[in-house]
């Protein structure tokens, strides 16, 4: 049964391996100029000295393939391919072709037939997701080391580590379960994608609500918040607070420093500092990477497990 399952699904598994190989080859061709820029521009030496004046050089790094940096987050949807091409045909393809009548009347039984195939394809999903995570991290490592992007940043963290394997498992299980209801291959693929994409995009918003960002206050004249590393993700939540930690708005600042705001930023900052005002930032530390990875993998693997239970019940009791 294992050999038969391999022969039935080997083209799908080999296609996934070929896709990862093609992505790796494309990355290999593009990564050379990035590494050369790091070396030749002096950015590597600048970062090694913990110099805060590397901003222009980092900006130059971001200018390497700018359209690519905008496009790469869409790779978060690549695990959906496991649902479209592995999960969707698992049941729907058999029912649509009518081969399920023969397959399910043999001595192996429906449940063994199902779980032999599921075990093979689940292993393929995990391997596919982990391989994609490795090559994405390898290519983006120059950007991460320079601080041009953060490994815990929204739209990027899902490309790395074990998270893509969790997404692929979920997509596969989703496609297989949808196939037990719709039973026609192309509509199953459409429904699977229509369900996967909103869930995946919603998770990008939900994830950070489950872990609190870190609060950092620092003087108004500081060039960079102390304690926030180059790879930490600074959120777009900068503000001003007083000694008690309460927010200071423009009206309060104008009331305190009405005579110091006429184009003299140094004077205004000095006035506000005299009232104990500090700048406030929120950030996600880069050392939460594996915590967030585990959260992603656990949530989507759990959803996949629930769907696989539903799949087993559907196949052994209803479909056919």
- Angle CA 175–200–298, to nearest 5: 85
What digits encode the pLDDT tens for the residues 137-163? 999 998 898 888 899 999 999 999 999
pLDDT at residue number 136: 95
Greatest alpha-carbon pair distance for the chain in Å reads 90
pLDDT at residue number 319: 58
Average pLDDT over residues 89-96: 76
What digits encode the pLDDT tens for the residues 44-85? 788 777 666 777 888 888 787 788 888 899 999 999 999 999
DSSP string, 57-72: HHHHHHTSSHHHHHHG
Give the global pTM: 0.85
pLDDT at residue number 242: 85
Residue appearing with tokens 């009548």? 101
* Strand-strand pairing, 278-284 and 233-234: antiparallel
pLDDT at residue number 223: 65
């Amino acid at each position: 049964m294992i050999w038969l399952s391999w022969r039935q699904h080997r083209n799908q598994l080999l296609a996934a391996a070929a896709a990862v190989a093609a992505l790796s080859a494309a990355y290999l061709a593009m990564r050379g100029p990035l590494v050369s820029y790091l070396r030749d521009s002096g950015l590597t030496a600048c970062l090694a000295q913990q110099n805060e004046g590397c901003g222009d050089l980092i900006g130059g790094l971001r200018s390497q393939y700018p359209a690519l940096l905008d496009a790469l987050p869409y790779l978060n949807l690549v695990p959906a391919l496991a649902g479209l091409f592995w999960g969707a045909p698992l049941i729907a393809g058999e029912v649509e072709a009518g081969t399920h009548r023969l397959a399910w009347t043999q001595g192996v039984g429906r449940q063994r037939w199902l779980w032999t195939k599921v075990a093979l394809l689940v292993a393929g999903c995990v391997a596919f997701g982990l391989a994609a995570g490795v090559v994405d991290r390898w290519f983006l490592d120059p950007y991460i080391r320079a601080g041009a992007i953060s490994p815990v940043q929204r739209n990027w963290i899902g490309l790395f580590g074990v998270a893509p394997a969790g997404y692929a498992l979920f997509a596969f299980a989703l496609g297989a379960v949808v196939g037990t209801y719709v039973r026609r291959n192309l509509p199953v693929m459409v429904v699977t994608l229509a369900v996967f994409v909103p869930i995946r995009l919603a998770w990008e918003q939900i994830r950070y609500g489950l872990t609190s960002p870190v609060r950092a206050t620092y003087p108004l004249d500081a060039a960079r918040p102390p304690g926030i590393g180059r790879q930490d993700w600074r959120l777009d939540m900068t503000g001003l607070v007083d000694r008690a930690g309460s927010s200071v708005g423009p009206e309060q600042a104008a009331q305190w420093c009405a005579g110091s705001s006429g184009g003299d930023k140094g004077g205004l900052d000095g006035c506000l500092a005299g009232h104990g005002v500090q700048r406030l930032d929120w950030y996600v530390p880069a050392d939460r990477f594996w915590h967030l990875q585990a959260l992603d993998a656990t949530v989507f693997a759990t959803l996949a497990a629930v769907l696989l239970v539903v799949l087993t019940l559907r196949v052994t009791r209803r479909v056919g």
